[in-house]
Amino acid sequence: MHIQERIRQFKEQQKNRGRLLISCPDKPGIVAAVSQFLLEFDANILDSNQYSTNPEGGTFFIRIEFECPRLEEKKKAMQTRFHPIAMQFSMEYEFNFVYNVKKSAIFVSKELHCLRELLWEWQSGDLMTEIAIVVSNHEDAREIVESMEIPFYYIPANKDIRKEVEAQQLQLLQDYDVDVIILARYMQILTPAFVKAYQNKIINIHHSFLPAFVGARPYERAYERGVKLIGATSHYVTDDLDEGPIIEQDIMRVNHQDNVRDLKKIGANIERDVLTRAVKWHLADRIIVHGNKTIVFP
């Protein structure tokens, strides 16, 4: 089945399903108020997960997935009528409607293993997104991307022309109405202005188990340090290099017989799995960013 037909069927199947993400000061009555609100719209709660940093004076987080008949007709009224409840409990909240499949842009450089994994998951229907464009500062990915009928944009980039490059990239993202940017080993630093335009919507993969080995050449530095575990970290991008809210991490054991090339080969497998999981959780609205941390709901 062609991916576009699969997406069309998904939208039809999920046309009455919504998700509500909430964070607020913890106090009694939050769940009751939200449940009663959804009942007033004849919505049925399908899944609910909650977490509190401290029941006495902490922060409360909840993710609710619900089914609501004629959701398209009701969604505007639902959002309007939820506002007083949000004010009452000092909530930060977000409604997401599942049929609005998020549009993704993938940024990549010369290393293609993460890109290939994302494309495979997307092609098989396990990554539910519309990949609008792939942007690269190298030509290496063009063939594989265009073979899947995805627009490919080659935009050379370096620190000397970063402002001009990002202006072109931001225009593309706007033209294609992109919701989330995936940095699949895109080896360029983004400016604060770019990051601000897509706050908590840029997902990066860093090839080390952060906070160890921030920045460039982490495998070489790990080898020099003689580490016994190597890993990868997927996180949201902030102005601080490799210090954004962590979404997912994983590790694998290595030993003194593994050289830098071995570490990179082992690490590539970790990177692509970690990035793919992080992207899937973002697309499924399973993440709430709280300060420089994340709450990731199962």
Residues 242, 2: Cα–Cα separation, whole Å: 37
Query: Residues 41-58: what's their mean pLDDT?
Result: 94
Active site residue 273: no
- pLDDT computed for residue 213 by the predictor: 86
33 pLDDT exceeds 70?
A: yes
Q: Which helix (H) or strand (E) holds 149?
A: none
Residue ranges, CATH 3.40.50.170, the chain: 103-296
pLDDT tens, position by position, 74-91: 999 999 999 999 999 999
180 pLDDT exceeds 70?
A: yes
Of 152-156, 183-187, 206-210, least confident by mean pLDDT is 206-210
246 pLDDT exceeds 70?
A: yes
166 pLDDT exceeds 80?
A: yes
Q: Which helix (H) or strand (E) holds 28?
A: none
Residue of 26, 179, 242, 258 marked active site: 242
34 pLDDT exceeds 90?
A: yes
What does pTM read for this prediction?
Answer: 0.95
Sign, Cα dihedral of 219, 272, 175, 197: negative
For 3-97, CATH gives 3.30.70.260
- pLDDT computed for residue 56 by the predictor: 81
Residue ranges, CATH 3.30.70.260, the chain: 3-97
- pLDDT computed for residue 154 by the predictor: 98
- pLDDT computed for residue 259 by the predictor: 94
- pLDDT computed for residue 2 by the predictor: 84
- pLDDT computed for residue 147 by the predictor: 96
Closest alpha carbon to 268 in 165, 119, 117, 130: 117
Evaluate the omega torsion of the peptide bond into residue 211 and state whether it is cis, within 30 degrees of 0. yes
- pLDDT computed for residue 20 by the predictor: 98
pLDDT above 70: percentage of residues in the chain: 100
- pLDDT computed for residue 281 by the predictor: 98
Instruction: Find out if CATH 3.40.50.170 is the number for domain 103-296.
Output: yes
What's the Cα-to-Cα distance from 94 to each of 19, 173, 277, rounded to whole Å?
8, 22, 22
CA 67 to mean position of chain CA atoms: 24
Q: How confident is the model at residue 3 (pLDDT cuts 50, 70, 90)?
A: confident
Query: Residues 266-285: what's their mean pLDDT?
Result: 97
Residues 215, 241: Cα–Cα separation, whole Å: 7
Which amino acid, one-letter code, is at 92? Answer: E
Q: Which strands, in side-by-side order, build the sheet including 44-52?
A: 44-52, 59-67, 17-25, 92-97
182 near 102, Cβ under 8 Å? no
Structure tokens at 89: 């409990």
- pLDDT computed for residue 1 by the predictor: 65
